[in-house]
């Protein structure tokens, strides 16, 4: 599987991509004749995805049948012997590699019902001045003393610019981002952060939010959402200062900013009772902490 980790490692401590490889390995450990993979490479980088495709090729040579569901057309083109295109819940057509050459444009034409002349419209980026800078950022692994997750990393981002971090699994991309966002991961050793040319100290998540930073984690279900809370409460969870007077959650003040959203819990909890106002940080008698 190309997964180099200690087999005794708890699965919960692995990244999403590594968890995906473990799940596939578990499926292959059985006496499998038909393997169905639903977006198996969605959380994998290019190198790990290629390792998985090589594994599927090897399994095909041993007589194993696979169904691969994917939105990555280049991988479908590289691995598939036949492609079934589904649109609006219906099977539109089947393409056999032996009957006609298979490429991404042909698959897209079947998906949308017409040919696309320009898949990526041309544009001219016009980034502004440097807004966010990180210099010499060094962070130590909290579990393994002396092991550095980030080694004097430096980068800058201009206004209106999108900067991508690339690297193989385990390179430290997620650890770098989390350590910068309020030092929420790892042990800070050195480095500076400047916003608008002024040095800031983002020592907590609260301070990071106060300086205008937001972080959408890789594992959104575990690290990004409270599944017992409602959608509208979740939306304002990181911006409570605007909706709480005197350390009380004020329902009417929060409503105008979320008026278009219905009050629907992210996961229904039959035992939960509604509560309008209570002191922040105290547990209501009939509910959970908010």
What does the alpha-carbon distance between residue 240 and residue 209 come to, in Å, rounded to a whole number? 11
pLDDT of 248: 63
Cα–Cα–Cα angle for 186, 189, 191, rounded to 5 degrees: 110
At a CB cut-off of 8 Å and minimum separation 6, what does 288 contact? 228, 272
Residue 233 CA to residue 226 CA, distance in Å, equals 10
Q: What is the pLDDT of residue 162?
A: 92
pLDDT value of residue 118: 67
**Is the domain defined by 130-217 classed in CATH 3.40.50.300?**
yes
Mean pLDDT by 10 residues, the chain (290 residues): 82 79 83 88 78 87 91 88 89 85 81 74 85 95 88 94 84 90 92 95 92 87 82 80 67 48 49 41 40
Q: Where are the domains of the chain?
A: 11-112, 130-217, 225-290
What pLDDT score does 67 carry? 93
Q: What is the pLDDT of residue 265?
A: 52
Please, which residues bridge with residue 96 across strands? 82
What is the C-alpha separation between 210 and 192, in angstroms, rounded?
Answer: 17
CATH H superfamily, domain 11-112: P-loop containing nucleotide triphosphate hydrolases (3.40.50.300)
For the entire predicted model, the pTM comes to: 0.55
| Residue 271 near residue 286, CB atoms below 8 Å | no
| Closest C-alpha to 224, from 235, 236, 216 | 216
**Fold identical between 11-112 and 130-217?**
yes
């Amino acid at each position: 599987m190309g997964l180099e980790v200690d087999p005794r490692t708890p699965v919960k401590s692995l990244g999403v991509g590594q968890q995906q490889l473990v799940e596939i390995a578990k499926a292959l450990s059985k006496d499998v004749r038909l393997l169905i993979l639903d977006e198996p490479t969605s959380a994998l980088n290019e190198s790990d995805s290629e390792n998985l495709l090589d594994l599927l090729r090897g399994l095909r040579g041993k007589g194993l049948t696979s169904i691969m569901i994917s939105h990555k057309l280049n991988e479908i083109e590289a691995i598939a012997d036949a492609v079934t295109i589904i649109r609006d819940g219906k099977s539109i057509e089947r393409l056999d590699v032996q009957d006609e050459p298979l490429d991404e444009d042909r698959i897209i034409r079947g998906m949308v019902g017409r040919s696309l002349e320009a898949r990526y419209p041309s544009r001219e980026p016009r980034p502004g001045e440097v807004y966010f800078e990180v210099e010499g950022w060094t962070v130590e692994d909290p579990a393994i003393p002396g092991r550095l997750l980030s080694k004097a990393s430096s980068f800058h981002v201009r206004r209106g610019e999108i900067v991508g971090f690339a690297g193989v699994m385990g390179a430290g991309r997620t650890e770098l981002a989390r350590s910068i966002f309020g030092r929420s991961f790892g042990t800070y050793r050195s480095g500076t952060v400047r916003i608008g040319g002024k040095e800031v100290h983002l020592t907590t998540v609260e301070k990071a939010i106060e300086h205008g930073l937001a972080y959408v984690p890789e594992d959104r279900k575990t690290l990004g959402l409270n599944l017992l809370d409602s959608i509208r409460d979740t939306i304002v969870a990181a911006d409570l200062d605007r909706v709480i007077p005197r350390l009380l959650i004020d329902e009417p003040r929060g409503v105008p900013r979320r008026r278009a959203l219905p009050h629907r819990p992210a996961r229904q909890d039959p035992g939960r009772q509604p509560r309008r106002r209570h002191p922040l940080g105290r547990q209501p008698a009939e509910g959970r902490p908010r």
